[in-house]
């Protein structure tokens, strides 16, 4: 299904409801450590299902945490309550929908023995996810879309769901945050939907979300990240070591790419027994998703993404601290080798500090 246009409205509604196979409960799951695109998509889908079947009990749940200030503020204003997956009860009698992620993608908490009823996403499928998708009754993946929110907003329009101010505000923030105000990886559909939604938005609230106030810890993270920034040719990066807030990885990656001379940023950190990596590219044809998969999958991790935004994670359970530290280091060197083409990578220089710190040094946490 390419677009709602041309397709009969009843068909979309019927197909979504049919996928639930008579379940009176639906849990909409986002990817772990959900971002605005994931939250907005989940709320949009919840509104669609509520409209189609008011009897169906819909919950929105996520794995991981919501760490970023903007996302926490957004969460307060969402038109639906969102809860950690750990608080979902009676998991056996539920239909699942995944938004902004796919089964077996490695970044969601859908139990491995479960197949979702509905998957709506804009990430390119991988061979692992494809298999699970074959068992999923309703699949809509449009990797040409800059945000998953855009797909779901087309559903809202198609089915004729009234879009409240709170919903419109969430949807617009989902699209704008995912695409950096339509400047990054946005498609024509993202631009059209965004423009149609803007008149419905509470702009004051939108601004409050985007320019959220931050706690002191945020500044400590930024200080440590900046202190440890390295540059190598056109690449800028930072290794954060163990962190309490996984969202900081993507945030720092975005921040570093603001450097006027750099075309790639890379940030690694350690959270919840996983080494996580985030990539950003300035070029809209950089294939960052492919790059990170080549880097991470050969080590047994999961990764994915788009042209300019990508990330991955590597489960490190059972590895020693020094092994993880070594892995972290070699990941960066591998990445530098891959994107610069330099076989023997050396002289990675600090950007602002006198010398780079080892974020894994004992007693330095
Ligand atoms: Mn997304």
What CATH number did the domain enclosing 299 receive?
A: 3.10.310.40
Q: Largest Cα–Cα distance in the chain?
A: 64
Q: Which domain holds residue 58?
A: 9-210
Range 147-155 average pLDDT:
98
Q: How far is the CA of 178 from the centre of ligand 1 (A)?
A: 6
Does pLDDT of 93 surpass 70?
yes
Q: How far is the CA of 326 from the centre of ligand 1 (A)?
A: 31
Does pLDDT of 86 surpass 80?
yes
Q: Model confidence at 92, in pLDDT bands (50, 70, 90)? A: confident
Range 2-18 average pLDDT:
73
Q: How far is the CA of 197 from the centre of ligand 1 (A)?
A: 18
Render pLDDT for 186-207 as a digit per residue (tens, 0 to 9): 999 999 999 999 999 999 999 9
Q: How far is the CA of 122 from the centre of ligand 1 (A)?
A: 7
Residues 225 and 161 in one domain: no
Q: How far is the CA of 55 from the centre of ligand 1 (A)?
A: 29
Task: Give the pLDDT of residue 2.
Answer: 40
Q: How much of the chain exceeds pLDDT 70, in percent?
A: 96
Residues 224 and 291 in one domain: yes
Question: Would you say 281 and 307 are in contact if contact means Cβ atoms under 8 Å apart?
Answer: yes
Task: Give the pLDDT of residue 320.
Answer: 96
Residues 38 and 183 in one domain: yes
Number of domains making up the chain: 2
Render pLDDT for 98-129 as a digit per residue (tens, 0 to 9): 999 999 999 999 988 889 999 999 999 988 89
Contacts of 137 (CB under 8 A, 6+ apart): 18, 19, 21, 117, 118
Q: Would residue 323 count as lying in a domain?
A: yes
Q: Would residue 365 count as lying in a domain?
A: no
Q: How much of the chain exceeds pLDDT 90, in percent?
A: 92
Q: How far apart are CA 246 and CA 310, in angstroms?
A: 15
Range 239-252 average pLDDT:
95
List the shell of residues around ion ligand 1, using CB closer than 5 Å: 37, 100, 148
Q: How far is the CA of 37 from the centre of ligand 1 (A)?
A: 5
Task: Give the pLDDT of residue 90.
Answer: 85
Q: How far is the CA of 38 from the centre of ligand 1 (A)?
A: 6
Q: How far is the CA of 39 from the centre of ligand 1 (A)?
A: 9
CA distances from 167 to 179, 238, 320, 361 (A): 18, 36, 46, 46
Task: Give the pLDDT of residue 1.
Answer: 41
């Amino acid at each position: 299904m390419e677009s709602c246009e041309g397709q009969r409205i009843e068909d979309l509604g019927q197909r979504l409801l049919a996928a639930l196979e008579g379940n009176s409960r639906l849990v909409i799951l986002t990817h772990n450590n959900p971002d605005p695109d994931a939250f907005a998509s989940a709320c949009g889908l919840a509104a669609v299902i509520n409209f189609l079947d008011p009897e169906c009990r819909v919950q929105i749940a996520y794995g991981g945490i919501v760490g970023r200030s903007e996302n926490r503020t957004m969460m307060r204003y969402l038109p639906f309550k969102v809860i950690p997956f750990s608080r979902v009860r009676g998991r056996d009698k539920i239909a699942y929908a995944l938004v902004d992620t796919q089964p077996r993608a490695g970044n969601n908490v859908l139990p491995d023995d479960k197949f979702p009823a509905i998957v709506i996403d804009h990430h390119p499928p991988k061979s692992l996810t494809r298999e699970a998708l074959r068992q999923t009754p309703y699949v809509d993946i449009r990797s040409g879309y800059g945000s998953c929110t855009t797909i779901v907003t087309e559903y809202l329009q198609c089915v004729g769901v009234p879009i409240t101010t709170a919903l419109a505000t969430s949807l617009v923030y989902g699209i704008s945050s995912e695409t950096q105000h339509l400047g990054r990886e946005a498609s024509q559909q993202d631009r059209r939907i965004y423009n149609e939604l803007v008149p419905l938005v509470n702009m004051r609230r939108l601004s409050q979300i985007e320019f959220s106030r931050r706690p002191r810890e945020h500044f400590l993270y930024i200080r440590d990240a900046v202190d440890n920034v390295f540059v190598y040719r056109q690449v800028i990066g930072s290794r954060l070591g163990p962190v309490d807030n996984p969202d900081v990885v993507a945030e720092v990656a975005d921040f570093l790419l603001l450097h006027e001379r750099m075309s790639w940023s890379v940030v690694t950190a350690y959270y919840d027994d996983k080494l996580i990596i985030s990539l950003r590219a300035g070029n809209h044809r950089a294939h960052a998703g492919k790059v990170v998969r080549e880097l991470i999958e050969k080590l047994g991790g999961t990764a994915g993404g788009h042209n300019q935004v990508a990330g991955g994670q590597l489960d490190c359970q059972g590895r020693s601290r020094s092994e993880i530290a070594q892995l972290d280091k070699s990941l960066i060197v591998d990445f530098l080798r891959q994107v610069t083409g330099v076989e023997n990578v050396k002289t990675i220089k600090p950007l602002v500090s006198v010398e780079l710190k080892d974020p894994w040094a004992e007693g330095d946490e």
